Amino acid sequence: MASAALASRALQPPRRHCAPSTRRPRGPPTTSTAPWPRRRGAAAGSAPCRAVAADERPAEPSFPEGEDGALSGVVERPEADVVVIGSGIGGLCCAGLLARYNQDVLVLESHDRPGGAAHSFDIKGFNFDSGPSLFSGFQSRGPQANPLAQVLDALGESVPCASYDSWMVYVPEGQFLSRIGPTDFLKDLDAFVGVDAVQEWKKLLDAVIPMSAAAMALPPLSIRGDLGVLSTAAGRYAPSLLKSILQMGPQGALGATKLLRPFSEIVDSLGLKNPFVRNWIDLLCFLLAGVKSDGALSAEMVYMFAEWYKPGCLLEYPLEGSGAIIDALVRGIKKFGGRLALCSHVEKILIENGRAVGVKLQSGQIVRARKAIVSNASMWDTLDLLPPDAVPRSYKDKVKATPQCESFMHLHLGFDVENAREDLGIHHIVVNDWKKGVDADQNVVLISVPSVLGNGLAPPGKHVLHAYTPGTEPFSLWEGLDRKSAEYRRLKEERSEVMWKAVELALGPRFSREKCDVKLVGSPLTHKRFLRRNRGTYGPAIKAGEATFPGQATPIPQLFCCGDSTFPGIGVPAVAASGAIVANTLVSVSQHSELLDAVGI
């Protein structure tokens, strides 16, 4: 989940330009309302386009911006085979693989740092995550690896991680340390819920774990968006896919088709009735896919169960924070000759003779694409970049009719370790009322304290914390508010209270709000402005069984999309896969097959 953005200015220093980045990337902007800080390790004075957030910017001059706070930069060598708009994980995965395929690729990022939703940022020595913080599969290899791990492997990059196996859960039934793995969670259920829940969870695992082989039989890196997929995926992995289906028994083929249906259908078919089990499944689905079990794709959930509830499974956290993932992807892009241009806000996608041929930056500069444009923006924001007369009415209507997930509230804190319980864990989930539903606003809060495991994420003797409501904050409450107004400040205080209370529950009686060194609150307006996301949305609220996520191609030749508005959907593994699919589609089948051979999948 995420953030990124800026403001107007009163004073303006001499104009500076951002050229394609050649130095180690700094973590991207915060979802907070404070200035964008430098990443740890960035040289002093090395930020040619420092951005200032809108809500609480300091009384110092900012660097040149255009309308809506976009930074104006100049792109050196404004031409490439493929131009990628946006440097979220999907866009970076796409660009990295294209560079690996020896394509001349240029990533255009509106802000002064890359990363989109997965950036990290530094304030007073506290290194904060602004988005996803629950990871697994970084160390996996081979055909069944996590899509992001497969892309990093293809780029010859890695992300050093700490491993752990549990998180704290605070639910109406009580609080307990929830452990992953096939047996430990059963012990938790037995102790805190009852034998009924244990039996139903066993029944669920017995049904879905065999399905996971089929769900993971086609490596994400093998998929492409044209008929070449018959060679790179279906033909290459058909034997393993058939074997996994046969291993599912007489109902194997039927079980495989269920992977394309809502996960609730599998749950219902098993006759699972225990309220806690049903609520827990809904919670996992919502956190991973943005919808409850009646809308989550079974294949995605089956994959998750295999990742979290198989023998020997572990969760992982990057030792240097989530920004280390972005650093690794950017290193991979540059290693193979790709380019990243920061402070390069795309104002318009250029269409000539019905084809996407380039982009116009807010600075007025034109950047040409010889082969393709790839948008890592949301479907709604991509539509806004296109000339209205170039878009088929049917496509426009479909995008506008696609339902959206809601937005976020964020709370970032830096505090002394003495301000929290001694046995503090890295992750905490707070559910206030199951009856309201996990998708109700102000009901679920996620908390991450990565300094428990990470290296140098906070000053000595300090902790860093990120709490957020997971895509449940209604944008309508905030729409039209002036971010400088007393009304806006009052609403931020009111709507952030649920996060403060969750933090107090997780950190224990020693915690004091007044003793925090850093306190930052981000609202849906912050989210919209920093990420340039339509209405600050988490992404499309597309339910399996009712609709499908769009593919990566668009009705406009040479224009492709990746990210959470395209198949496979929302979540880090999904957006990484979407970027890979576009990259694979833009090269020949032989190049694609050679890469699969090279990385051993």
**Cis ω before 568 (30° cut-off from 0):** yes
In whole angstroms, what is the distance from residue 121 CA to residue 135 CA?
Answer: 19
In whole angstroms, what is the distance from residue 392 CA to residue 386 CA?
Answer: 11
User: Hey, what CATH topology would domain 69-119+135-160+320-402+542-600 get?
Assistant: FAD/NAD(P)-binding domain (3.50.50)
- Evaluate the CA torsion angle 599, 108, 27, 439 in order and state its sign: negative
If one compares 219 and 376, the residue with the highest pLDDT of the two is 376
CB atoms < 10 A from the CB of 600, how many?
9
What is the tens place of the pLDDT at every residue in 430-445?
999 999 999 999 999 9
pLDDT band at 377 (very low <50, low <70, confident <90, very high): very high
- Give the pLDDT of residue 22: 36
Helix, strand, or coil here: 410? strand
Q: Which residue shows structure tokens 């993932």?
A: 325
For range 176-196, the mean pLDDT: 87
Helix, strand, or coil here: 246? helix
- Give the pLDDT of residue 300: 84
The number of residues making up the chain comes to: 601
Helix, strand, or coil here: 279? helix
The β-bridge relationship of strands 355-361 and 366-375 is: antiparallel
Whether residue 272 is predicted with pLDDT greater than 90 in this model: the reply is yes
- Give the pLDDT of residue 48: 32
In terms of Cβ atoms closer than 10 Å to its own Cβ (0-12, 13-18, 19+), residue 377 is: buried
For range 118-147, the mean pLDDT: 82
pLDDT band at 133 (very low <50, low <70, confident <90, very high): confident
% of the chain residues with pLDDT over 90:
62
Average of per-residue pLDDT values in the chain: 84
Asked if 20 and 343 count as a contact pair (C-beta separation under 8 A), the reply is no
- Give the pLDDT of residue 1: 36
The answer to which of 36-45, 224-233, 431-440 has the lowest mean pLDDT is: 36-45
For range 79-84, the mean pLDDT: 98
Asked if 562 and 376 count as a contact pair (C-beta separation under 8 A), the reply is yes
What is the tens place of the pLDDT at every residue in 392-437?
999 999 999 999 999 999 999 999 999 999 999 999 999 999 999 9
Helix, strand, or coil here: 210? helix
- CB crowding 400-439: b at 16 or more within 10 Å, else e: eebebbbbbbbbbbbbbbebbeeebbbbbbbbbebeeebb
Whether residue 307 is predicted with pLDDT greater than 60 in this model: the reply is yes
If one compares 498 and 261, the residue with the highest pLDDT of the two is 498
Those residues whose C-beta lies under 8 Å from the C-beta of residue 166, and which sit 6 or more positions away, are 177, 178, 179, 180, 184, 425
In whole angstroms, what is the distance from residue 518 CA to residue 415 CA?
Answer: 7
If one compares 529 and 274, the residue with the highest pLDDT of the two is 274
In whole angstroms, what is the distance from residue 403 CA to residue 389 CA?
Answer: 24
If you compute the radius of gyration of the chain from its CA atoms, what whole number of angstroms results?
23
The answer to which of 120-124, 180-184, 240-244, 582-586 has the lowest mean pLDDT is: 240-244
In whole angstroms, what is the distance from residue 513 CA to residue 382 CA?
Answer: 41
Those residues whose C-beta lies under 8 Å from the C-beta of residue 466, and which sit 6 or more positions away, are 128, 129, 130, 133, 410, 411, 412, 447, 448, 450
In terms of Cβ atoms closer than 10 Å to its own Cβ (0-12, 13-18, 19+), residue 84 is: buried
pLDDT band at 249 (very low <50, low <70, confident <90, very high): low
State the distance between the two ends of the chain, measured CA to CA, in whole angstroms: 30
- Give the pLDDT of residue 241: 61
CB atoms < 10 A from the CB of 256, how many?
18
Domain map (residue ranges) of the chain:
69-119+135-160+320-402+542-600
In whole angstroms, what is the distance from residue 431 CA to residue 502 CA?
Answer: 9
pTM of the predicted model as reported, rounded to 2 decimal places: 0.86
Whether residue 125 is predicted with pLDDT greater than 90 in this model: the reply is yes
Angle at 497 between CA 492 and CA 502, to 5 degrees: 140
For range 458-472, the mean pLDDT: 96
- Give the pLDDT of residue 95: 98
- Give the pLDDT of residue 188: 85
What is the tens place of the pLDDT at every residue in 469-508?
999 999 999 999 999 999 999 999 999 999 999 999 999 9
- Cα 19 to Cα 41, 342, 346, 474, 582: the distances in Å are 20, 7, 15, 38, 26
pLDDT band at 237 (very low <50, low <70, confident <90, very high): confident
In whole angstroms, what is the distance from residue 468 CA to residue 490 CA?
Answer: 18
In whole angstroms, what is the distance from residue 453 CA to residue 450 CA?
Answer: 6
- Give the pLDDT of residue 134: 81
- Give the pLDDT of residue 314: 87
- Give the pLDDT of residue 74: 84
